[in-house]
Structures are given as C-alpha cells and as structure tokens.
Amino acid sequence: MKVAVIDYGVGNLGSIVRSLEELKVTPVLVNRPNDMHFADSYILPGVGSFTDCAKILERDGWNKAILEEVKEAGKPILGICLGMQLLASFGLEGATNKDGKGNKGLGLIPGSVLRLDDLGCQLNVPHVGWNEVKIKNTSNSLFNEIPNNTDFYFVHSYVFIPDNPDHIIATTDYDISVIAAVQNKHIWGTQFHPEKSSRAGFKILQNFINNPTC
C-alpha cells in the first residue's frame, strides 16, 4: 500500500515521513496533483494560516485532485492539525471576505473553523502542549487499542466545528471542550500531531494505515 504525504509547499514534512518509515511504510511525497492517483491513501499536513493554505490548494490544482481521489474514488485521507481544518467547508483564519463564513476549504467534512477565544476559551492562545483526549466511541478504528484519556500533543489557535456532531470522534479540554478528531466515513482528521505524540501517535498512524478501507 502506498501512503502519500501531500507536499503542497508548506511546512516541514520530515517528522511525518520519519514516523511512517518507523512503521515500515514507504511514504511517497507527492508534490504534483497529477501524481496523486498513484497512491492508495493520503496524509494532508498543514502549517500557517487556513486562508494561505486553502489558496495554495485551489491555485495549484490540489483541491480538484484531492476531491477526485478522496470524494469520488473513495480513497482514505488523514488531515493533521491545519490539514484537519482544511477538510472543513470554511475557515475564518486570515479571512478578508465580508460574508461572515470565511474562506472555502475542501468541504469533505461540512463545518467551520473558528478561533479558540472566539469560542469562549479564557486560556492562552495558541494552545500548545500535551492534553488528554476523550474518545467519543472507543470502537472507532482510528483509536483502536488506544486507551481513553491518552495524552496527545497540540499546537493550534483555531478549532474545527463540524456541522454534524456525529462527525466528532474525540475531544479534549482546554478551558472549553475542543474537537480533537473528526471522521466522515473514510475521511479522518486529528487536531493534535500524531507524529509528535510518541507511541500513541504512532498507533494513530498505524490504525489509519491498517484501516480496512485503505
């Protein structure tokens, strides 16, 4: 099975690639949308602002390629941190439009991305550090064999709020309840960084790779 790490020109992908290699998977760095069809599943990372990354995905043809492979062909994808937020319909980070919705994401999991303190969080923003994750459904394949309240590593200022609460599969507490992971069929996202979350994070990646839909 070929797992592609989508390299659309933002961030250092080294830690994700090394984590996959430790799991005895040969990751493929895909830096052209036309090459996506060679892979069986995808990891979408993200660093920076929602608006900047969303514009790159649109401008360089990634949106069309991702939707073709994931939505139409049914291949699994895991969005990590900002990559999870890009799965949403809209994001307010860096938005300059006046309709109140923000800029468009991939729309693979309907919802919006909002700032932590706009949601009522009184703690320091960004949220940086290790936090316990509460698994909504322990039978979910992404958290298979991972105990409830396991710590994962977070670095973020914004939160993905799905339109459908059934798409929320895990949360964490940071003054308010924060969505930590989402799923819509074969589409997953984690707000935390599995590649920086020690053994539990490696297990998340392994569960994604071993999922029957892959």
Catalytic residue positions, numbered: 81, 193, 195
| Amino acid at site 46 | G
What CA–CA distance (Å, rounded) separates 106 from 58? 9
Residues in a beta bridge with 179: 171
| Amino acid at site 104 | K
In 47-180, which residue ranges form alpha helices assigned H by DSSP?
A: 50-59, 62-66, 82-85
In 60-210, which residue ranges form alpha helices assigned H by DSSP?
A: 62-66, 82-85, 198-210
Residues 6+ apart with CB under 8 A from 131: 151, 152, 154, 172, 173, 174, 180, 192
For 7, 17, 39, 57, 62, the CA distances from 27, given in Å and listed in that order, are 12, 6, 9, 21, 19
Helix (H, G, I), strand (E, B) or coil at 204: helix
Residues in a beta bridge with 3: 27, 41
